[in-house]
Chain A
Amino acid sequence: MPRSCLRSQSLTPAPSSLWSRHLDLAFQPHPRSLPLGAWSLPRAPGPWAMAQRMRLGLRWPEAVATALLLGLFQNGMGAEGSEASCGVAVQARVAGGSNASPGHWPWQVSINHDGIHVCGGSLVSEQWVLSAAHCFPRDYHKDHYEVKLGAHELDYYNSQVEVRTVAQVISHPSYLQEGSEGDIALLQLSSPVTFSRYIRPICLPAANASFPNGLQCTVTGWGHVAPSVSLQAPRPLQKLEVPLISRETCNCLYNIDAKPNEPHVIQQDMVCAGYVNGGKDACQGDSGGPLSCPVEGLWYLAGIVSWGDACGAPNRPGVYTLTSSYASWIHHQVAELQPQVVPQIQESEPDGDLCSNYGALNSAPAQGWGWSILLPLGLTLGLLRPWHEH
């Protein structure tokens, strides 16, 4: 789960928290998820960047009205069939808090083993849930699992909650042990669910999907709020915004202060998200749950909570299974599951400075290096400014 430390968000204000103060009711994704670097740059603005600017041009009351109309439209159409049948949620937001709002993450499910929450998962159709392979050890029988959908506070039952047993678990065959490739599993529910405001699927990204580094995504779950500290009753769903970190940079971070006999390798099918300084991260009990990324008004399942060295440790961002690398496997296993093409919103900017800065900070930079460090900093500050203004 998102760590409790995220409650101290004010210490490290992210652009997202500034946004959330203004938003009352709107369709997700918020424009807040604008990645650092998306603004600017002497490249022709992609469609996503343009959309952002248009939205920014709207006054808030108008934006809210638009969102409401869309919401009604979606509900009226029903979920099936339409292009936007996934990745949409009505979202009433609470500023600065770590508790999610009910209905905000309607694809989030809780997976129980013998009645105990062990993992999260993401609803991807009426009858299929995507989760992590390590949530289903070989010696555990599927009959011991249950999937809870539409839940907000795990300790309270409400009428929106649906519970299904598991008809089938398909774990990826290449998953061998914690930290290995293929930490992905498909769960077939015993019977389909009816979508509602609280139960809706997230979009599966197609194989060629590319989410830019730094994109603000959201991880949600009911896991521990700190190492060895479980979420307290009534266990409301937690959310945490985390920027994407490239695999290469993540490998570089994991090599800082690495123990030689405990190598951690970010494999090809993994992506990271989180903070170099630590403090905010997913944790035990969040596995299998979604890393939801917003692109042009829809939420995509960019990653599946998989592993991490402790939780929230410096230079140890959370590691997620990169869903898009399993798009064809998913479709092959369950033909009805159609990964969606994700609009290419922008080129990904290199994020190597996240790791090389570390080296620079630890060995007083020579003068010649000063610019290369200052430059990204200046850029970042410049990018933040528009957010403050709105």
Chain B
Amino acid sequence: MNWHFPFVLVATVTLPSVCSQFNPLSLEELGSDTGIQIFNQIVKSRPHDNIVVSPHGIASVLGMLQLGADGRTKKQLTTVMRYGVNGVGKVLKKINKAIVSKKNKDIVTVANAVFVKDGFKMEVPFVTRNRDVFQCEVRNVNFEDPTAACDSVNVWVRNETRGMIDNLLSPDLLDGVLTRLVLVNAVYFKGLWKSRFQPENTKKRTFVAADGKSYQVPMLAQLSVFRCGSTSTPSDLWYNFIELPYHGESISMLIALPTESSTPLSAIIPHISTKTIDSWMNTMVPKRVQVILPKFTAVAQTDLKEPLKVLGITEMFDPSKANFAKITRSENLHVSHILQKAKIEVSEDGTKASAATTAILIARSSPPWFIVDRPFLFFIRHNPTGAVLFMGQINKP
């Protein structure tokens, strides 16, 4: 009985621009932390690429898997994640609801689904727990026709991400004989800046990319009051950070930029965790500041398999060791792929011309400048929970 049925695990992420912060619910921070660790692994192998991932999406997908895992496979997952989904299901559910709450105004859509081979028998608790905690829907699909199956997954993802994420899967990832299920997590975020960037202030400016070359890229400019600060890594490398809030007040983009242009992002990244981000949030002070920020779109597709293995999640990928007995007892399953595709768009769009208190923006002293004209990190953070919806490094906008 050495049948091993791979299932493709897909996390899809979309974001038009933002970042997030810490929260009182440290559970979500643990989840996002796992995602940040994975990001650290990814950038090690691709230091000069633009990378965008969703730590919250990674945590959701791993959580969904955890519900179906057993034995050592489950142990590895809980060890890295530092929590068992079953023990904290209620809290997780609350967090997941808070993130998509209409109160946020910013549009966040998190869509989770399991695409199951027609006639495949799943354990009932796996289905109900996933539905309950992750609002995960179960859909049947005929993997024997990989092209059609791929299409139906991609159409679902495209709809859930309002067209932002296209072609998540390619048919060659599906095995018509072996594939039993595809697990998908999609995150879509459309934020409008609380303080809009005036399109007439957008000008081409020089961005010095990670390769040392200068590029002329359109950059947004705004004089406003933003919370910002600076800190250093344990090795005394300084970097600055700034919070650009979205209009619903609950989601913000955070940007971290090495103070010295000679400091590479790779020197800063290992220092960053949800704890670090929390400390930024606690030390930032509102300042009248002139912000210059590239207008950009970044799309990145990432295979999370290798980074997860480095963190110690190995068994679920191993056909001879993977244990997903809680998904089904009738067949041996393992994870063949875990993909995430994320997209972010940063533009001028916002809800109002300037910060709430424009009265403080009329004086004509020269404000400090926060010029993002070299590689930077960004985070889109749901502040009430601390969930990091997206994070990325931009080496060349």
Q: Which residues of A contact B (CB under 8 A)?
A: 116-119, 132, 134-135, 177-179, 183, 223-224, 227-230, 259, 262, 264, 282-288, 305-309, 311, 318
User: B203 to chain A: closest CB distance in Å?
Assistant: 7
A-B contact pairs, 22 of them (CB 8 A): A116-B368, A117-B366, A132-B363, A134-B363, A177-B359, A178-B361, A179-B362, A183-B363, A223-B364, A223-B366, A227-B223, A229-B221, A262-B359, A264-B362, A282-B364, A284-B223, A284-B364, A284-B365, A284-B366, A287-B366, A307-B362, A307-B364
Looking at B362, B365, B367, the one whose CB has the most chain A CB atoms below 10 A away is B365
- Docked-complex contact A134 and B365, CB < 8 angstroms: yes
Pick from A228, A262, A282, A311: contact of B292, CB below 8 A: A228
> Of all chain B residues, which has the CB nearest A117?
B366
* Residues of chain B lying within 8 A (CB to CB) of residue A178: 359-363
> Which residue of chain A lies nearest to B364 when distances are taken between CB atoms in the complex?
A287
Known pairs A178-B361, A229-B221, A284-B366; list 18 more (Cβ under 8 Å).
A117-B366, A119-B365, A132-B363, A132-B364, A135-B365, A177-B360, A178-B362, A179-B363, A228-B221, A228-B222, A262-B359, A282-B364, A284-B367, A285-B365, A288-B365, A306-B364, A307-B364, A309-B362
In angstroms, Cα B290 to Cα A284, docked, is 10
Which interface class (under 10, 10 to 19, 20 to 34, 35 or more) fits B?
A: 20 to 34
Interface of B is mostly: mixed
B residues with a Cβ closer than 8 A to A are 198, 201, 203, 221-223, 290, 292, 358-369
CB B226 to nearest CB in A, in angstroms, measures: 14
Known interface pairs A227-B201, A227-B223, A228-B290. Does A132 touch B365 (Cβ–Cβ under 8 Å)? yes
In the assembled complex, which residues on chain B have CB atoms less than 8 Å from the CB atom of A286?
364
Report A-chain residues with C-beta under 8 Å of the C-beta of B363. 132, 134, 178-179, 183, 287, 306-307
Contacts of B362 in A (CB 8 A): 178-179, 264, 307-309
9 closest Cβ pairs, A-B complex: A285-B366, A228-B221, A287-B364, A178-B363, A287-B365, A307-B362, A134-B363, A118-B366, A262-B358
Residues of B within 8 A of A116 (CB): 366, 368
* Interchain CB contact under 8 A, A179 and B203: no
A287 surroundings in chain B (CB, below 8 A): 363-366
A245 to B8, CA, bound (A): 71
| Residues of the A chain whose Cβ atoms lie less than 8 Å from the Cβ of B221 | 227-229
**Closest Cβ–Cβ distance, residue B361 to chain A (whole Å):** 7
Q: Which residues of B contact A262 (CB under 8 A)?
A: 358-359
Main secondary structure of the interface of A (DSSP, over half): loop
A281: shortest Cβ distance to chain B, in Å?
9
CB distance from B338 to the nearest CB of A (A): 43
CA distance in complex: A132, B368 (Å):
17
Residue of A nearest to B202 (CB): A228
Within the complex, what minimum Cβ distance (angstroms) separates B325 from chain A? 60
The residues of A that contact B290 with a CB separation of less than 8 Å are 228, 284
**C-alpha gap A285/B367 in the complex (Å):** 8
Among B359, B361, B369, which residue has its beta carbon within 8 angstroms of that of A230? B369
- Chain B positions within 8 Å of A308 at CB level: 362, 364
What residues of chain A lie closer than 8 Å to B359, measured between beta carbons? Answer: 177-179, 262
- For residue A281, which residue of chain B has the nearest CB? B364
Residues of A near B360 (CB, < 8 A) are 177-178
Question: Which B residues lie within 8 Å of A227 (CB)?
Answer: 198, 201, 221, 223
A318 to B369, CA, bound (A): 22
When distances are taken between beta carbons in the complex, the residues of chain A under 8 Å from B361 are 178
- B293 to nearest A CB, angstroms? 11
Assess whether A228 is in contact with B364, with CB atoms less than 8 Å apart. Answer: no
Provide the bound-state CA to CA distance between A183 and B364, in Å: 11
Q: Chain B residues near A223: list those with CB within 8 A.
A: 364, 366
In Å, the complex CA distance between A183 and B365 comes to 12
Name the residue on B nearest A318 (C-beta). Answer: B364
Question: How many angstroms between the C-alpha atoms of A359 and B288 in the bound complex?
Answer: 35
- What's the least CB distance linking A130 to chain B, in Å? 15
Which residues of A have CB within 8 Å of B369?
Answer: 230
A183 proximity list for chain B (CB < 8 A): 363
Q: For residue A264, which residues in chain B have a CB less than 8 angstroms away from its CB?
A: 362
Determine how close the nearest CB of chain B comes to the CB of A132; give it in whole angstroms. 7
Chain A residues whose CB sits within 8 angstroms of the CB of B292 once the complex forms: 228
In contact, B201 and A119 (Cβ under 8 angstroms): no
Which interface residue of B358, B360, B368 has the most chain A CB atoms within 10 A? B358
- In the bound complex, what is the Cα–Cα distance between A282 and B368 (angstroms)? 18
Kindly state the separation between the CA atoms of A135 and B366 in the bound complex, as whole angstroms: 9
Residues of A within 8 A of B364 (CB): 132, 223, 282-287, 305-308, 311, 318
